[in-house]
Amino acid sequence: MTTRIYQERQGQIHRKGKKPFALECDKESLAGAVSQRACVFCGSRVVLYPIADAVHLVHGPIGCAVYTWDIRGALSSGPELHRLSFSTDLQEKDVIFGGEKKLHAALIELIDRYQPKAAFVYSTCIVGIIGDDLEAVCKTVAAETGIPVLPVQSEGFKGNKRAGYEAACNAMFRLVGTGDISNISRHSINILGDFNLAGEIWLIREYFNRMGVEVVANITGDGRVDDIKRCHGAALNVVQCSGATMTLANLIKEKYGTPVIRVSYFGIEDMAESLYAVANHFKDPEMLAKAKEIVRQELEILLPTLKKYRAALTGKKAAIYVGGAFKAFSLVKAFRHLGMQVVMVGSQTGTKEDYQELQEITDEGTIIVDDSNPLELSSFLQEKEVDIFVGGVKERPIAYKLGIAFCDHNHERKEMLAGFTGMMNFAKEVYGSVMSPVWKLVPRKQPQSTQLRASVPACIAGL
Residues 6 or more apart whose Cβ sits within 8 Å of residue 316: 338, 339, 340, 341, 387, 388, 434
Nearest by Cα to 290 from 201, 185, 213, 210: 210
Cβ-contact 451, 237 below 8 angstroms:
no
**Restricting to residues 46-85, which ones interact with another protein according to CB under 8 A?**
57, 60-70, 84-85
In this structure, are residues 408 and 430 in contact, taking their beta carbons and an 8 Å threshold? no
Alpha-carbon distance of 383 to 3, in angstroms, equals 13
Q: Site residues for another protein, window 400-429 (CB under 8 A)?
A: 400-403
CB of 325 to another protein, least distance (A): 18
Residue 392: other Cβ atoms inside 10 A: 17
Residues 128 to 157: which contact another protein by CB under 8 A?
128-130, 155-157
Contact status: 378 vs another protein (CB under 8 A): yes
| Among 12, 123, 153, 160, interactor with another protein by CB under 8 A | 160
- Contacts of residue 81, defined as CB under 8 A and 6 or more positions apart, other chains included, come to 52, 53, 54, 55, 56, 114, 116
Q: Check residue 4 for interaction with another protein (CB under 8 A).
A: yes
Site string for another protein, 86-115 (x = CB under 8 A): xxxxxxx-xx------x--xxx-xx-----
Query: Which residue's CB is nearer to another protein, number 22 or number 393?
Result: 393
Considering the complex, what minimum distance in angstroms separates the CB of residue 132 from another protein?
12
Rounded to 5 degrees, what are φ and ψ at 284? -120, 105
Closest separation between CB of residue 454 and another protein, Å?
Answer: 5
Half-sphere exposure of 234 (CA within 13 A, CB side): 27
**Rounded to the nearest whole angstrom, what is the least distance from the CB of residue 258 to another protein in the complex?**
32
28 binds another protein (CB under 8 A): yes
Cis omega (within 30 of 0) on the bond before 247?
Answer: no
Cα torsion through 75, 175, 107, 104, rounded to 10: -150
C-alpha of 63 from chain center:
21
* 397 interacts with another protein by CB under 8 A: yes
Residue 394 in the binding site for another protein (CB under 8 A): yes
Q: Is 369 in the site for another protein (CB under 8 A)?
A: no
Does position 39 bind another protein by CB under 8 A?
yes
Residue 272 beta carbon to another protein: minimum distance, rounded to whole angstroms: 34
Q: Does the protein bind another protein through residue 234 (CB under 8 A)?
A: no
Question: x/- string (CB under 8 A) for another protein, residues 345-364?
Answer: --------------------
- Is residue 38 at the binding interface for another protein, with CB under 8 A as the rule? yes
**Residues contacting another protein: total by CB under 8 A:** 85
- 379 and 404 in contact (C-beta within 8 Å)? no
Q: Residue 442, interface with another protein (CB under 8 A)?
A: yes
